[in-house]
Structure 1
Amino acid sequence: MDLPPFLLDHWLAAHEFATPPIRYNLAASTGPQWSVDELLALGGGKNIGGVKIGYAPPEGGKRLREAIGGFLGVDPEWVVVTTGASEALLILLCLATRPGGNIVLPAPAFSPFAVMADAWGLGVRTYTLSRDDGFRQNAEAIFAAADGDTALALVNTPHNPTGSVMPFEEIEVLAQKLGERGVPLVVDEVYHPLYFGRQSPTAASVPNAIVMGDMSKALSLAGLRMGWLVIANPDLRKRAIDARSYFTISSSPVLEDLAAHALDNHKTLLDRLSAVATTNRAALVAFMKRVSDIVAWAEPEGGTVAFPWFKDGRDSRPFCQALAAAGVLVAPGDCFGMPEHFRVGFAAQADGFGDALTIFERTLRG
């Protein structure tokens, strides 16, 4: 099949990898970058010279699964390592495919959710996260979107691109109600545990919930391409491991070793992300007050992104192009099917965020 253009990646690639690169990247949804040397220096130092460059087990090596299990507080046997959350999603869609089946997804959402579901022959049913309600996620609306042909329902919390957080109690209720219909709940937790108010536990131990996670977002290590599924059901987990064997065979043992070392030192990684995100979010709150005559937003409750919109309903892409020309990158809302919006990341830019907002305001009022 012909896949639609991946507008977000096209936009990011045109600017992040340009020569010279964009000066201030407020389009990124990750945290502050780490170098390999910085990562290896954590915890008193790490040497990867002895790692044998062969295959790792398809489910992931024991050490890495133990590190992920420890990070989430679950049995390491429940963990299946994947090539980022992208492969985790593909595995779940592959296993859910059936004639006439569908998946329930949020709107707006990260665009590969719907595109990949369609590629696997699954219909898409959506539940709307309304900006008038702060993009709130609730069990009743999500459950109402499911029908007798629903094979999976997915929630993303903290949510990309809006930053909303689904309360843990709502996740438990939704997982139970879906379970009564035999429908698994997939919880995309790539931004866990970055919250700005009430902290939320992982859904990894919730009955009938399958958790997707990775090291790209909250752990700020996108280049490791390391993710996971947490599946308590042993039969489904076995099928997921088989699917991974067909898809990618295994991870790189070198990257698995680096990932396990990073997870052993996850507090350091999370503390750095939290410091940058908290400081920059406060600056963004003040900025949004100053420009509230032009744009509106819902304050993000977790994660690293927000999703403001133009109050007059204009298409944001021309503004995003002008802002990029001035040296500041944000992502146009048409990448998420909502052209009047734009996504702002506030955790990747460890330095210069205030300067970027100054340019942002000048361009906005220009």
Structure 2
Amino acid sequence: MDLPPFLLDHWLAKHSFATPPIAYDLASSTGPKWTVGELLALGDGTGLDDTVLSYAPSEGGRALREAIGTFLGVDPDWVVVTLGASEAFSILLCAAARPGTNVVLPSPGYPAFDPMAGVWGLGVRHVRLSRDNGFRQHAADVLDAVDESTVFALVNTPHNPAGTIMPRDGIEELAAALHRKGVPLVVDEVYHPLYFGKPQPSAASLSNVIAMGDMSKAMSLAGLRIGWLVERDPQRREKMIDARSYFTISSSPLLERLAVHALANRDVLLTRLQAVAGENLVALSDFMDRVSDVLAWARPAGGTVCFPWFRDGRDSRPFCEALAANGVLVAPGDCFGMPEHMRLGFALLRPEKFSQALGIFERILREG
């Protein structure tokens, strides 16, 4: 199968690594960056000199699985470590794929989801998230999309790119209803626990839920390339581990050790993310009020991104190109199949630089 162009990564690769570099990155879906030195300086620190550069267990080293289990409040034996959430999703598709079957996915959603399902021969049934309804996520809508050929349904909460959440009671209701149909619920919670209202526990402990997460988003450590699946069913978990053995064999022991240290100091990482994202979201809300004659949005309830759109329905790509030429990077909506939208990240830049970026954004918007 020929994969379609990955428009989001093409856009990011074109601009994020340009020379000279973009001054204000609002296209990123991660939080403030950390250096290895900054990370190692947290807590009691950790030496890396005695790390053996061999293979790790395919399911992940015990220390890392215990750290993830503690973070999520689950048995570490349920945890399967992966090469980011991307490998986690591929493993799910590989383990579930059967001729004539389908998966239920949100739309809009992460752009890799639909093509990767197609690679494994799976059909896709969409849960349409309506901007007229603030992109809200409802259990009933997911259930309506499930049919007799569905092998799993996925909910992304907090959602990329819209920033909406499915409340805990909705996830519990959905997982129980899907169990009666023999369909597991996959909860993509890479942005957990970044919420701007009432905190929500991880869904990983719920029955009939396979949780998917990583160190890239809420932990702001994308370069570690550490993700995970949490699966309580031992037979399905064994299939996941076998798939991982075929795909990538294991993670790097060095990166696993850094991830263990990061999770031990997660309160520091998460506090910084919450502070930056929270302050920037206030500034962004004020900005959206000022430009509400041109742009509309659904204020995010969690995560690090939002998905504003042009009220007149124009294609956002020319505007995004103009922004990039002035040093501000946002992702055009055609990367998500909705050209009038833009994905805007608000957690990478410190508040002073974020405000500067919004000033340039507003100037280009008014000039256009």
Classify the TM-score, shorter chain: over 0.9
Partners of 1:167 and 1:133 lie apart in 2 by 15
Q: How does 1:338-349 map to 2 (within 5 A)?
A: 338-349=338-349
Give 3-state SS (helix, strand or coil) of 1:42's partner: coil
TM-score (structure 1 length as normaliser) = 0.99
Cα deviation digits, residues 126-153 of structure 1 (max 9, x gap): 0111111110100001100010000110
Instruction: Give the structure 1 partner of residue 166 of structure 2.
Output: 166
Partners of 2:73 and 2:20 lie apart in 1 by 43
Q: How does 1:113-128 map to 2 (within 5 A)?
A: 113-128=113-128
Partners of 1:311 and 1:245 lie apart in 2 by 48
Residue 139 of structure 1 pairs with residue 139 of structure 2: yes
Residue 206 of structure 1 pairs with residue 185 of structure 2: no
Cα deviation digits, residues 59-81 of structure 1 (max 9, x gap): 00000000000000110000000
Identity in percent: 67
Instruction: Give the structure 1 partner of residue 155 of structure 2.
Output: 155
Residue 197 of structure 1 pairs with residue 197 of structure 2: yes
Cα deviation digits, residues 189-220 of structure 1 (max 9, x gap): 00000000111111001110000000000000
Greater CA drift, 215-224 or 172-181: 172-181
Q: In structure 2, give the amino acid aligned to 1:348.
A: L
Q: In structure 1, give the amino acid aligned to 2:365.
A: L
Instruction: Give the structure 2 partner of residue 273 of structure 1.
Output: 273
Q: How does 1:52-71 map to 2 (within 5 A)?
A: 52-71=52-71
Instruction: Give the structure 1 partner of residue 14 of structure 2.
Output: 14
Instruction: Give the structure 1 partner of residue 177 of structure 2.
Output: 177
Q: In structure 1, give the amino acid aligned to 2:42.
A: L
Partners of 1:112 and 1:168 lie apart in 2 by 26
Unaligned stretches of 5+ residues in structure 1: none
Partners of 2:134 and 2:262 lie apart in 1 by 34
Instruction: Give the structure 2 partner of residue 355 of structure 1.
Output: 356
Instruction: Give the structure 1 partner of residue 77 of structure 2.
Output: 77
Give 3-state SS (helix, strand or coil) of 1:155's partner: strand
Give 3-state SS (helix, strand or coil) of 2:216's partner: coil
Instruction: Give the structure 1 partner of residue 218 of structure 2.
Output: 218
- Give the C-alpha shift of residue 181 in structure 1: 1.0
Instruction: Report how many aligned residue pairs link the two structures.
Output: 366
Partners of 1:164 and 1:322 lie apart in 2 by 28
Instruction: Give the structure 1 partner of residue 49 of structure 2.
Output: 49
Cα deviation digits, residues 232-291 of structure 1 (max 9, x gap): 111111111111111110000000000000000000000010011001010000000000
- Give the C-alpha shift of residue 14 in structure 1: 0.6
Partners of 2:97 and 2:239 lie apart in 1 by 13
- Give the C-alpha shift of residue 365 in structure 1: 0.4
Instruction: Give the structure 1 partner of residue 34 of structure 2.
Output: 34
The ranges of structure 1 where at least 4 consecutive aligned residues each deviate by more than 2 angstroms after the TM superposition are: none
Q: In structure 2, give the amino acid aligned to 1:363.
A: I
Q: In structure 2, give the amino acid aligned to 1:190.
A: V
- Give the C-alpha shift of residue 87 in structure 1: 0.5
Partners of 2:138 and 2:48 lie apart in 1 by 45
TM-score (structure 2 length as normaliser) = 0.99
Q: In structure 1, give the amino acid aligned to 2:358.
A: L
Partners of 1:249 and 1:92 lie apart in 2 by 16
- Give the C-alpha shift of residue 44 in structure 1: 2.4
Partners of 2:42 and 2:293 lie apart in 1 by 46
Give 3-state SS (helix, strand or coil) of 2:205's partner: coil
Partners of 2:99 and 2:17 lie apart in 1 by 41
Unaligned stretches of 5+ residues in structure 2: none
Q: In structure 1, give the amino acid aligned to 2:148.
A: G
Partners of 2:44 and 2:170 lie apart in 1 by 41
Instruction: Give the structure 2 partner of residue 96 of structure 1.
Output: 96
Partners of 2:16 and 2:49 lie apart in 1 by 31
Partners of 1:40 and 1:198 lie apart in 2 by 31
Cα deviation digits, residues 134-189 of structure 1 (max 9, x gap): 10100001100010000110000000000001001011111111111111100000
Instruction: Give the structure 2 partner of residue 324 of structure 1.
Output: 324
